[in-house]
Structures are given as C-alpha cells and as structure tokens.
Amino acid sequence: MAPVNPDNDPLYRLRHSTAHVLAQAVLEIFPEGKIAIGPPVENGFYYDFDLPRPLTPDDLKDIEAKMRKIIKAKHRFAYREVSADEARELFKDQPYKLELIAGLAKGEDEYGEKAAAADTIISTYKHDSFEDLCKGPHVESLSEIPANGFKLLRVSGAYWRGDEKRPMLQRIYGTVWPSKEELDHYLWQQEEAKKRDHRKLGRELGLFTFSQKVGAGLPLWLPKGAILRDVLERFLRQAQIDRGYLPVVTPHMGKIDLYKTSGHWYTYRDGIFPPMSEIANDDPENPEGEIYLLKPMNCPHHIEIYASEPRSYRDLPLRLAEFGTVYRYEHSGELTGLLRVRSFTVDDSHLFVTPDQLEAEFLKVVDLILFVFGTMGLKDFQARVGLREVGNPKYIGSDEVWEKAQNAIINAAEKKGLNYVVVEGEAAFYGPKLDFIFRDVLGRQWQLGTVQVDYNLPERFEIEYTGEDGQKHRPIMIHRAPFGSIERFVGTLIEQYAGAFPVWLAPVQVTLVPITDRHVAYAESVAAKLNAQGLRVEVDASNNRMNAKIRDAQKLKIPYMLVVGDKEEENGAVAVRQRAGGDLGSISVDEFIARIKDEVANYQ
C-alpha cells in the first residue's frame, strides 16, 4: 500500500495528523517503544512500531481510547525546521528516526531514495508533548480530527524499509474520515467487499481455482466456471457475428521477430515470459533453432492473417475476432485472483479500415461496448481518452498520425455523448485509446472495455490494400475488446452480483430437489425436459433432507429450486422456489419452462 500524494488534499492532512496521534498514544502506553514512519495511504494511514511484545485486538481498543483522550485536548500542530544535530538530540532514543535523519543529511528521503532539495529539509511537527520528524502537511489542530470518525483496523508485520534483513516491526493500520457517517460507510464497504470477494466466492461457487503446482497467476476453470465463460463467449460471439465480424484462431506463441516488428518486444519486454529456443538442428543457417515467445498480444497475429492474401478496398472494413489467450509475466506481488493474472483470454478484435470508414466503424465499436455493458447491468462507468505523453520515446509514429488518431477518438466520444476524461500517458505505444472505467457497487474502479486507433502497426508491417484508384494504400487498424479480458470481466461480475448471477448467466439455472429417493426418477425426467430446452439443470439426488438441499442450492446462489414429490409427479408439476426465498407454489413443468425462458430472453 503506497503512500499517497498530499496535493493539498484535506483527507491527506486528516490522515497524516491521525497517524501522529496514533504514535503518541502507543508511546504513552509503551514508553519504551520505538517509532519508525507513519504515512497516509489510500483510505487511511499506518504507523510502524518496535514494541516489547506483540499487540492484540484488545491493545487496539486501548490505543483507540487513548487517541480519543488526546484528540479531546484540541492541541495545535506546530511546525519547525531543525539542524541535523538538533534532530539527533531530539530523537536520541529513537534509532529509526536517527537513521532517517542520517539519510536526510545525505540528501535522501524517508524511503532511502535520492530526493529533491526541498524534501531533505529536516523538520518536525509537535502537538501536545509529542514531536515527530515530519515534513507535513497536517491539520491546524486536533479539534479537526473527529473522535468518532476513526478506527484502528489491524496489525501486521513489516520489515523496516521493506528489507527482510532489517528488523520486523508491527504496523498498525487505521482509517479516518471527516464524519462518523463516512467512517461507517467505509467500514460497511470493507465488510461488503469481503462478502463479494471474487476469490472467496469463486471457491464457494465452484467457478475456478489456483494450484501451486500449476503456477501463480494461472487460473484453472472448474466446470461451472467454464460454463460461465462459455455463456459469455457465446453471447459476445453472436453479437459480433450480427455485426459482421469474422472468427479467427491463432497459436499461443510466435517467433520473436514477429513481436520485434510490432514493437511489443521492446515496449513490454519486462512483462514477457523468457524466450524459448527451438531444438538445434543441422541447418547451417540456423544451427541454434528459431526463438519463440509465448504470445503477449494477439494483434501481430491478426495482422499476419490480413497480410495472408491481397486486399482491396472492397474487402474493407475487415473485422477479425478471436478469444485469444495471451501470457504476461506479472510480478507475483501484483497477482490478484482473476483481476491480475499471467494467462488471460482477450475478447480481441482488429478492424482494418480505410480512412473514410474510420469514424463509422469506431462508433459501431463503441455501440457494441455499450450494448455489452447494458446487457450485463454495468451502468456506472466513465470513458477515459488515453493520450500519449509527448516526448516519451516509448510512443512510436509521427505527430501527424497521433493527431489524427486522437481527434478520431475524441470526436467519437463527443458524438456518443460519453462522460469522458482525457488523460496523458494512458495511450498504447502505437496509438491513443478509449477505455471504459467501471465503478462497482463498492465504489472501486476497474478498466474493462477498450478501443484504440492505430496508424502505426500497419506501417511497421507494411500491410496494404488496393484503393478505388488502383493504387496501394495503408489501412488503419482499430483494436477493441468489450470485456477487456474474460478473467477480469468474470471477476468483476462475480463481485458486482455477489455471485448471484441473473438467470441467463447463472452456470446452473435450476436445481431439482426430490423429496425422497422414490422421486429421483421423476426429477431426472423433468431435468431432461429442461435440458432439451437449453436450460442448465442439476438434480440433487443426495441423501440430505429436502430443507438441507434447498439451503445448499441457496448457498450456491442457484436462481430456481424445483421441489418434486408425490403430488408434483402425479400432476406433471414442480413446486417452484426462488433464490431469494420466494415460494411460487406448484405449477406445471411446461408453465415453468415458459416462465424461465421468457426471463432469459427478456434479460438479454
């Protein structure tokens, strides 16, 4: 959790000041304790301590009580600058502060990095009897810290300066907000996030798993998760067919020269798995074999499909689409369930268009992304126009083509009336892009769909089409992925729906619950009838009692439970119960089929 930038942010000041109060309270309870650093971080703050014993949950309650007592005194924060010698005398009993002072005197910041001159001024802030080495900023006085607006959350271990060879300290995390209402909302969000955590629900619902033997960041899709993926892919595949996309399939690897030509090897080299060499052979021109890479991107492969035959302006726009699996070497500390993995499937498509077709095709792609979001119930999102950072050498191509591409995206965003922001440095290395940033029910932001305009890769690969004038011309590429990746999209949907997927998307839509063993055969016959209608059905033929079977189906968040007994079998009916607990009573099997099929059709 990285420190946040103050930028005159009032929350930064509030959290920084509360961290100082935390340090004072801990030292008053543990006078022999040693203090390290305590920065604000996203949504809160922490402080690191070297204490005579491990802290317990009861200690946190005592520290909170002490903090409230300190806040009640309403002391002001006082800033002063001191010399290195004054600072050493002031903190002579605090070894971690002395190390920081030595670094400041050498021109280093508190993290041991070379710092600007303004960051190496040695200064302190004092309130009450507590004075800390600090450059601020802080609130004016403790009266600005609401006594009911903060909470200490947990204690964890942290090596001093992140070095495993240095002492292990105790890090106390806390959060603070301007009011009790905002604190309560944040704490509710945290609890709700635990309930919705896609990693927890993925396990409980039997969607996916990870294996240490397979490797970190390489998800294994279980049967129900594979069904969920298949439903999503079939939905998008049909939407693409309806819009004139052509399916393609490309291999999971390619020769390194392919990615050198595209530029991915140079731009993403740190995130690409190590090259693989073909077994050496007797070819005198290639004694060591070819060099291959696991595919980091699909676009070079699609370009080669375009280049596989001559193209005319009559062939364009050409829309190639693939659910293509790619591989990125993400650092293990950055892996997060399905949201950040090393192997993921992109709902990738590359459109090859003439200049006259660019705007219309781009707008159609935006329409497709909005259709996908609408169908999935993803309503709270903002568009982000990602531009290059001028002067950054990673961006390829001339100013002229970048200007054209950027204008095309901004014009499209304006025509669609999108709520968008423009951010420099968020472009792909080959062109600007329009990303769709979704805000989930907990207020967190995720990048999902993306669409990009690219004049540069067609130039690098020298692909052409014959124009109406009989001359050779360079096509423009549109890169797009409405989901972004199947993995991240599924992880986001799990948390958005808390695992309770709408009927059309649920891996299992119906569970048949026979009351006794003699009703199993009828349950299976009903299941066969539902299966024949394209519904996803299971029969719970376990030895559990009926109520336990219903509870199990509710835990698995299955939309419908159909209870069958003597009465239902006699009447060709089912007793319908809904996931949320609603009991619809007994209806005929045909009536239930009509009901659920109508629900599926109307949702999409």
Chain segment 553-595, per-residue pLDDT in tens: 999 999 999 999 999 999 999 999 999 878 889 999 999 999 9
Question: Which of 454, 489, 493, 496 has the alpha carbon at shortest distance from 475?
Answer: 454
Question: Which of 527, 512, 500, 601 has the alpha carbon at shortest distance from 564?
Answer: 512
- In this structure, are strands 510-514 and 537-539 parallel, antiparallel, or unpaired? parallel
In the predicted model, is pLDDT for residue 196 greater than 60? Answer: yes
pLDDT of residue 3: 45
In the predicted model, is pLDDT for residue 14 greater than 90? Answer: yes
pLDDT of residue 110: 65
What average pLDDT does the structure give for the chain?
Answer: 91
Q: Which tens digit of pLDDT belongs to each residue from 74-108?
A: 999 999 999 999 999 999 999 999 999 999 888 77
With contact defined as beta carbons under 8 Å apart, do 45 and 57 qualify? no
Q: Which tens digit of pLDDT belongs to each residue from 344-392?
A: 999 999 999 999 999 999 999 999 999 999 999 888 889 999 999 888 8
Name every residue whose Cβ is closer than 8 Å to that of residue 571 and which is 6 or more positions away in sequence. Answer: 586, 588
| Both tokens assigned to 1 | 């959790």
Q: Which tens digit of pLDDT belongs to each residue from 247-279?
A: 999 999 999 999 999 999 988 888 899 998 765
The arrangement of strands across the sheet holding 291-294 comes to 253-255, 291-294, 276-277
Q: Which tens digit of pLDDT belongs to each residue from 217-237?
A: 999 999 999 999 999 999 999
In the predicted model, is pLDDT for residue 111 greater than 60? Answer: yes
pLDDT-derived band of residue 2, with 50, 70 and 90 as boundaries?
very low
DSSP type of residue 110: T
CA distance 212 to 202: 17
pLDDT of residue 47: 97
pLDDT of residue 7: 53
Q: Which tens digit of pLDDT belongs to each residue from 436-463?
A: 999 887 778 888 999 999 999 999 999 9
| Both tokens assigned to 313 | 């302006």
CA distance 602 to 590: 18
Longest dimension (CA), the chain: 94
Average pLDDT over residues 283-290: 62
CA distance 339 to 208: 13
Name every residue whose Cβ is closer than 8 Å to that of residue 334 and which is 6 or more positions away in sequence. Answer: 340
Q: What is the 3-state secondary structure (H, E, C) of 448-472?
A: EEEEEEECHHHHHHCCCEECCCCCE
Residue showing tokens 């419908």: 560
pLDDT of residue 445: 85
